[in-house]
Amino acid sequence: MKKSKILLGTVIIAIVGLITVVAADHIEAPAAKGTTADITDFYAFQGEDTSNIVFVANVQGLLAPSATAAASFDENVLVEFNIDTNNDNVEDLVIQAIPRDGKMYFFGPFSPSATGLTSNIGFASTQSSVAITNYGASATVGNENGLKMFAGPRDDPFFMDFARYGEIIAGNATGFNDPGSDTFKGTNVLSIVVEVPKSRIGGSGTINTWVETKVKQ
Partner 1 sequence: MKFNFIKYTAAIVMTSLILVGCSKNDNDSEPLGPDFSGTYMQKDQMGRPAVNTVFVSADSKDEFNLTVPSQQSAKFQSMFEANLLGLSPAYANDGKNALGQDAAAFTGLLATDVLNVSLDGKTTFYDGVAANTLSGRALADDVITVELLLIFGGEDFTENPTLSDDNVSANDKEFSPKFPYLASPW
Q: Which of residues 159-188 bind partner 1 (CB under 8 A)?
A: 159-161, 164-165, 168, 174-182, 184-188
Contacts of 167 (CB under 8 A, 6+ apart): 23, 173
Applying CB under 8 A, among 5, 38, 62, 113 the residue interacting with partner 1 is 38
93-100/77-84 β-pairing: antiparallel
Q: How many residues bind partner 1 (CB under 8 A)?
A: 94
Applying CB under 8 A, among 2, 5, 6, 89 the residue interacting with partner 1 is 89
| CB contact at 8 A, 35 and 24 | no
Nearer to partner 1, 8 or 63 (CB): 63
| CB contact at 8 A, 80 and 209 | no
Applying CB under 8 A, among 23, 37, 95, 132 the residue interacting with partner 1 is 37
Applying CB under 8 A, among 1, 113, 172, 205 the residue interacting with partner 1 is 205
CB of 9 to partner 1, least distance (A): 24
Could you say whether residue 67 binds partner 1 (CB under 8 A)?
no
Nearer to partner 1, 7 or 130 (CB): 130
Nearer to partner 1, 5 or 101 (CB): 101
Could you say whether residue 47 binds partner 1 (CB under 8 A)?
yes
| CB contact at 8 A, 8 and 48 | no
| CB contact at 8 A, 196 and 95 | yes
Applying CB under 8 A, among 20, 43, 110, 125 the residue interacting with partner 1 is 43
- Bridge partners, 131 (sequence order): 103
CB of 2 to partner 1, least distance (A): 32
Apex 38 CA angle, 32 and 42, nearest 5: 130
| CB contact at 8 A, 39 and 32 | yes
Residue range at the interface with partner 1 (CB under 8 A); choices 2-10, 13-21, 113-121: 113-121
Exposed / middle / buried, residue 83 (Cβ in 10 Å: 0-12, 13-18, 19+):
buried
